[in-house]
Structure 1
Amino acid sequence: MSSTISEFCKLKLEIRDFLNQTSNYIEVSELQIKDMVKQSHYTVYHEGDSYDFYGMENESYWFPITLRNSVFVTLYGFLEHILIKMCKTLEVIKRISLSVESFIEDKNNYGSKVVKASNYILSVANIYFPHRLSEWTHIKNCGVLRNSIVHNFAKKNDRVKSLLPMSGITTEIKDITNEVLDFDYMGKAYGVSQLNFDNSFFLLSSFSKEFLNSFATLMNNFFR
């Protein structure tokens, strides 16, 4: 029992440190995004009218999208890492003959690695897992978004469409612009409309924070 407590105490500390560091990083990165975009501003005058441009004509330079996506994918990857680590800890402590690797690789077990790891904890290790929490449902839905971001540059496939509308997600590029620049889009922020993001979804600044909160709630509930 003491070894179980010791190993899970280490996991709790690892999770706590990661969540604290990531929360701080999200705050800093959002400030950097705003500064970066605002610094790219320039004005074009034509026939007596002025037009605001932001140096974001190319997808690869659209900082809010690429940076927010990378933060979220890192968060999701850490959750996957922690759940599998829990499984391996339980496998050793409870002397389970079925390895978590074999369980995850078994084609008869459906779902993502995150879902399979939770099923291992619940059904193989016979340990409580808070799979009925709304936060767990949210995390599983986020897995669908993660796969689209990683494999298809955040395109709206059928699975993604079934989740929309979803808190922290927008399908309008102007919503990102408005959020970063703190104004309502009135058709004059050119340099944004040139982007080729048809049929895509975008993460708002609140999305990773909400995922982080769901992650923390899930872990707190598990360790209780």
Structure 2
Amino acid sequence: MMKHKFVRTARLSLISIEIDSFRDYIKYIENSFRKELASYEDGAKRVPAGFEDEYWDYHLDEARQYSTEFPTIMRNSLFVSIYTFLESKIADLCVSDEKTLLTLSDIKGQGIEQASTYLKKVLLLDFPYDTKEWKYIEKAKSLRNCIVHTNGHVSKVRKPESVEKAIKELDYVKKDKDGYISLESEFCLDFLENVHSFLKELYQR
């Protein structure tokens, strides 16, 4: 038991380092988008009076890339990456011991659901289902599945009502006018902090 505790503590330290890298990257890339967009806004202030419309006619498509298109691609990709990171860190705990011959692949399901079942039913770990972080992650899972399977188009997912519910209940996410999930600049960092808190809770049990 003490050996397992020591290993988990060591792994949690490494997890915190990886979380720091995610956090630094999120702040860096979001700040980069803000700087690029600000450069176009500053440029508009320097054009002669009366020529603002001509300036934006020329630069609007470029500015839109930094205000909408690039952030959407980055946030969706980063959100899915953090979720995959979470899955892998939960699965890392699913190691059979001398008390059981069952492995993770013997359990029905996939991803987080499969791993959480293994930890609770096979390794008898007190899985933190009752925490606010886990409830947050469960809602975020609907967003993740929608982004992965339908590129974020809410009405095309198998259970759109669960996605709509998640959008309504989670901060920093909305549905745009075309029916796609739209993650705001704060979302990935908020998700990351919830993941970190959850993993700390899990690894300390």
The one of 178, 181, 185 equivalent to 1:198 is 178
Q: CA deviation at 1:62?
A: 1.0
Q: 1:94–1:206: structure 2 CA closer, same or farther, 3 Å change rule?
A: farther
TM-score, normalised with respect to structure 2? 0.80
Secondary structure at the aligned position of 1:170 is classed as strand
Q: CA deviation at 1:37?
A: 3.5
Question: Where does residue 126 of structure 1 map in the other structure?
Answer: 124
Q: CA deviation at 1:171?
A: 2.1
Secondary structure at the aligned position of 2:52 is classed as strand
Look up the equivalent residue of 2:128 and give its one-letter code.
P
Secondary structure at the aligned position of 2:94 is classed as helix
Identical positions, percent: 23
2:140–2:166 Cα contact (<8 Å) kept: no
Look up the equivalent residue of 1:201 and give its one-letter code.
I
Q: 1:57–1:121: structure 2 CA closer, same or farther, 3 Å change rule?
A: same
Secondary structure at the aligned position of 1:205 is classed as coil
Q: Which structure is richer in relative contact order (CA contacts within 8 A, separation 6 or more)?
A: 1
Q: CA deviation at 1:162?
A: 2.6
Determine if the alignment matches structure 1 residue 63 to structure 2 residue 70.
Answer: yes
CA distance in 2, matches of 1:137, 1:117: 16
Q: Give the number of the structure whose residues are more often strand, by fraction.
A: 1
Q: CA deviation at 1:164?
A: 2.7
Determine if the alignment matches structure 1 residue 84 to structure 2 residue 91.
Answer: yes
What stretches of structure 1 of length at least 5 have no aligned partner? 173-196
Paired positions, count: 187
Q: 1:128–1:150: structure 2 CA closer, same or farther, 3 Å change rule?
A: same
TM-score, normalised with respect to structure 1? 0.74
Q: CA deviation at 1:220?
A: 2.0
Q: 1:169–1:32: structure 2 CA closer, same or farther, 3 Å change rule?
A: same
- Structural RMSD (CA): 2.5
1:154–1:200 Cα contact (<8 Å) kept: yes
CA distance in 1, matches of 2:69, 2:200: 35
Greater Cα offset, 74-83 or 153-162:
153-162
Look up the equivalent residue of 1:16 and give its one-letter code.
S
Determine if the alignment matches structure 1 residue 50 to structure 2 residue 30.
Answer: no
CA distance in 2, matches of 1:39, 1:94: 61
Q: CA deviation at 1:94?
A: 4.6
Look up the equivalent residue of 1:156 and give its one-letter code.
V
The equivalences for 1:100-139 within 5 A come to 100-103=104-107, 106=108, 109=109, 113-139=111-137
What stretches of structure 2 of length at least 5 have no aligned partner? none
